[in-house]
Structure 1
């Protein structure tokens, strides 16, 4: 994988890899865990493989080839995925898109070089066998309520890889692509007052970019202090004791 691209060949995949594929001209990416045997376990919105629960759904579903919207006979039937976790073949997971591999324990300069969030993290990954165990366990018991910003497919894959969860579920999650959007909004809000002064466009841009980078790093699960290591069995117990309040 190169400095700016995490593209990978299918033959180089190994069980435990966190993979993803961009949808709709790189607007949104779908994430999952490759568990071997041409199978990917991934978290969806109530079993809807291409759904995000946001206005992006109109773009995502319209941009994916019709053949990719109908899972093959080897994949988990949607009606059986009542908790939103699916097992799909690699081709159905990709939905006609390109295969990429998420990177872990990257250096800060590499993290910032990949300006778009949702491709790498500063956090380290656990051993592959543990990652596969978590994914298979969650396939059976689920991963809670889908939320586009706090509990999405990227959160699922990152948890499988690290076992880390945000302690306060009322705060922002640790999805790189969601954090990238929020960081952009923070940067825009921070730099907006500068436009009313005599500050140059170059300085405004530099300030906005600095704030954007700092916000992304602060939100990354590898840097946050409000995370805890949770075994997948304990996670299941937590989920059983909680209730979904929204399917947003």
Structure 2
């Protein structure tokens, strides 16, 4: 993995990889799980890669990559489909560049990344388990899309780790959501520290330090409000509206998560 970029070639992909592509002049990235045979399973809101439910969607869509109006011969998804879908790699990238999300990175490398949503301190589960989760959720869903609590990156991170945030009132696993919130938050939190230095560069360094610390503490590999949930249990909890789990960080075996054969 490079310090500045996680860009990879298509030929280096393997089933179980968490991939992403930047959209709208690097405003946000769309994430998914590569399952092999040129297919990607990913999570959307009514066909939109970022759905806020506000007028902001119009800006994001208009500034995003131009899409072909010709129907894809590989993808057979109906227009306006939402939830967990499967697309060909070309449709997933939509003309963008291919990047691979990295797991189990060192703290120094994590902090060196200026932007969240590219790597995590958390370990990934075996590839066959990751593909199994993605295919299972393709058939059973991943709940309601929420840009800050349950988005495409949250979906991909769950597939890779099996970890979910248990407190519904808090932000999800998404690193880019933390970055969006963390920037203004860092500026606010660093304001009381202005007495330390009146130098503009010193104040900027303080804000960056607060921002990096907030990103580090909010990473899925560091959080204490997460729990390992088997994919079969996840879908049953979603169906009954009982996703909340009481005790975080309880080790859970994966005996019920039986990987599907890789095609």
Q: Normalised by the size of structure 1, how large is the TM-score?
A: 0.91
**Shift of the alpha carbon at 1:182?**
1.4
- Do the aligned partners of 1:107 and 1:122 also contact (CA within 8 Å) in 2? yes
Q: Show the counterpart of 1:45.
A: 45
- Contact 1:71–1:92 under 8 Å retained in 2: no
- 2:165 and 2:223 map into 1 onto residues whose CA distance is 9
1:160 — aligned with what? 159
Unaligned 5+ residue runs, structure 2? 243-263
Structure 2 counterpart of 1:246: none
Cα deviation for residue 5 of structure 1 reads 0.2
Distance (whole Å) between structure 2 residues aligned to residue 76 and residue 160 of structure 1: 23
Whole-angstrom distance in 1 between the partners of 2:55 and 2:70: 21
CA spacing shift, 1:94–1:56, aligned 2, 3 Å:
farther
Give the equivalent residue in structure 2 for 1:148. Answer: 147
Q: From the superposition, tell whether residues 55 and 121 of structure 1 become closer, same or farther in structure 2 (CA, over 3 Å).
A: farther
Tell me what 1:27 maps to: 27
Residue 235 of structure 2 corresponds to residue 226 of structure 1 = no
Unaligned stretches of 5+ in structure 1?
244-248
Between structures 1 and 2, the one with greater helix share:
1
8 Å Cα contact 1:76-1:87 kept in structure 2 = no
Q: Distance in 2 between matches of 1:193 and 1:120?
A: 30
- State whether structure 2 residue 72 is matched by structure 1 residue 72: yes
TM-score under structure 2 length normalisation: 0.86
The alignment of Structure 1 onto Structure 2 pairs a total of residues equal to 241
Three-state SS of the structure 2 residue aligned to 1:221 is coil
1-structure distance, mates of 2:132, 2:164: 17
- CA positional deviation for 1:65: 1.3
List per-residue Cα deviations over 1:69-110 (Å, max 9, x = no partner).
66513224135845x111000000000100000000000111
Alignment check: 8 A CA contact 2:49 2:152 kept: no
Q: CA deviation at 1:55?
A: 4.5
After superposition, where does 1:72-221 map in structure 2 within 5 Å? 72-78=72-78, 81-82=81-82, 84-195=83-194, 199-221=198-220
Supply the distance in 2 between the matched residues of 1:18 and 1:70 (Cα, whole angstroms): 27
Measure, in 2, the Cα distance between the counterparts of 1:197 and 1:225: 32
SS of 2:132's equivalent in the other structure is: helix
RMSD (CA atoms): 2.0
| Aligned equivalents of 1:70, 1:239: Cα separation in 2 | 36
